[in-house]
């Protein structure tokens, strides 16, 4: 099929080449030979009258023309998939659909397990690919790299629909023998050494944002890239960590050597949302999965 003399089959090749900046990797993802991908690149170069990818040392780099094409080409392919490739009817009992979810390790520890169990019961042949959250996760929706995103409201994209999944208050996690476990005032909270999570993709955690907005300075003695490691890093010490209550409760249930304490200042709860591409708003499989995600979230006592 052609549009203005462009073979539309080449758009998929162009998208992979732009995103991967590698002929061999693009060929692998499209399950074609490297020579076939090289031929596709040559045809694209002729059509656009631009090299698109150029060799710089040991790697390929995009030309300005290729960079300008990246967004429009990805948008076209997402729209085609939403309009043509998505089945109009979804039967969970027989579906073999592979759905990609992007989540943080907080969601992976608290929300995802009961959701996966529910999907396994009702859609036994459906496949779920769980990916780690990246910087600017909304971009992954734009690119079509993920079907559903679970992220804090503050990090969600204003350009795509979303739905509140849960609101989780912040609490403190500390060793059960720490005197502050019985009573935690603001002076003690600020004086204690803290263990803080710093997202591996960069930026600040939600807890760090709350402390900054409250104008409270704390002594961060240890940083980690994982929410789920916070309990292990305060155990056996006088240190303390701010963490979402659902995750803190899970830590305390698994380890009686830990305790929870309410923070001595008012903090807005973390609002987690489900988000999806606007072109997939009526995708019946994603509608069903969003419903199952919400149903799998246990009420917060």
> Tens digits of per-residue pLDDT, 149-203?
998 888 788 888 999 999 999 999 999 999 998 889 999 999 999 999 988 766 7
Residues 6+ apart with CB under 8 A from 182: none
Instruction: Assess whether pLDDT exceeds 50 at residue 2.
Output: no
Instruction: Assess whether pLDDT exceeds 90 at residue 86.
Output: no
Give, for 223, the enclosing helix (H) or strand (E): strand 219-224
Q: Residue 194 and residue 248: Cα distance in Å, rounded?
A: 15
For the residues 220-245, what does the mean pLDDT come to? 93
Residue 82's pLDDT is what?
65
Neighbours of 124 (CB within 10 A): 12
Residues 6+ apart with CB under 8 A from 78: 142, 143, 144, 277, 279
Residue 245's pLDDT is what?
94
Q: Which of 67, 84, 57 is nearest to 17 (CA)?
A: 67
Confidence of residue 4 (pLDDT cuts 50, 70, 90): low
Please report which residue ranges of 123-227 form alpha helices under DSSP H.
138-143, 186-191, 206-214
Confidence of residue 136 (pLDDT cuts 50, 70, 90): low
Scored b (16 or more CB within 10 A) or e, 141-157 reads: bbbbbbbbbbbbeebbb
For the residues 89-97, what does the mean pLDDT come to? 91
Q: How far apart are the first and last CA of the chain?
A: 57
Instruction: Assess whether pLDDT exceeds 80 at residue 8.
Output: no
Instruction: Assess whether pLDDT exceeds 60 at residue 1.
Output: no
Instruction: Assess whether pLDDT exceeds 90 at residue 242.
Output: yes
How far CA 35 is from CA of 7, 12, 25, 59, in Å, comes to 18, 16, 12, 18
Residue 83's pLDDT is what?
63
**What distance separates the 2 farthest-apart alpha carbons in the chain?**
75
> Tens digits of per-residue pLDDT, 59-69?
889 998 988 88
Residues 6+ apart with CB under 8 A from 64: none
Q: Residue 119 and residue 223: Cα distance in Å, rounded?
A: 35
Instruction: Assess whether pLDDT exceeds 90 at residue 89.
Output: no
Global confidence as pTM: 0.73
For the residues 131-160, what does the mean pLDDT come to? 80
Instruction: Assess whether pLDDT exceeds 80 at residue 143.
Output: no
């Amino acid at each position: 099929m052609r549009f203005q003399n462009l073979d539309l089959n080449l758009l998929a090749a162009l998208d992979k080449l732009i995103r991967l900046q590698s002929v061999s990797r693009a060929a692998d993802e499209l399950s074609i030979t490297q020579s076939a991908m090289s031929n596709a690149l040559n045809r694209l170069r002729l059509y656009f009258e631009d090299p698109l990818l150029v060799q710089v040392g040991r790697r390929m780099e995009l030309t300005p023309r290729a960079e300008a094409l990246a967004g429009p080409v990805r948008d076209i392919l997402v729209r085609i998939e939403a309009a043509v490739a998505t089945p109009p009817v979804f039967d969970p009992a027989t579906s073999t659909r592979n759905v990609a979810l992007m989540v943080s390790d907080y969601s992976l520890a608290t929300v995802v397990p009961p959701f996966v169990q529910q999907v396994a019961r009702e859609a036994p042949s459906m496949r779920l690919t769980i990916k780690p959250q990246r910087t600017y996760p909304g971009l992954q929706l734009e690119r079509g790299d993920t079907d559903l995103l679970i992220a804090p409201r503050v990090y969600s994209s204003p350009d795509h629909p979303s739905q509140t999944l849960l609101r989780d208050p912040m609490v403190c996690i500390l060793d059960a023998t720490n005197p502050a476990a019985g009573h935690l005032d603001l002076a003690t909270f600020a004086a204690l050494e803290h263990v803080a999570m710093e997202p591996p993709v960069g930026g600040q955690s939600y807890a760090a944002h709350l402390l900054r907005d409250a104008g409270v300075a704390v002594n961060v003695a240890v940083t980690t890239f994982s929410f789920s490691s916070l309990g292990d890093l305060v155990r056996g010490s006088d240190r303390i960590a701010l963490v979402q209550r659902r995750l803190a409760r899970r830590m305390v249930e698994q380890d009686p050597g830990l305790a929870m304490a309410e923070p001595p200042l008012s903090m807005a709860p973390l609002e987690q949302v489900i988000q999806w591409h606007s072109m997939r708003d009526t995708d019946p499989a994603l509608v069903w999965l969003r419903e199952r995600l919400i149903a799998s979230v246990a009420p917060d006592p």
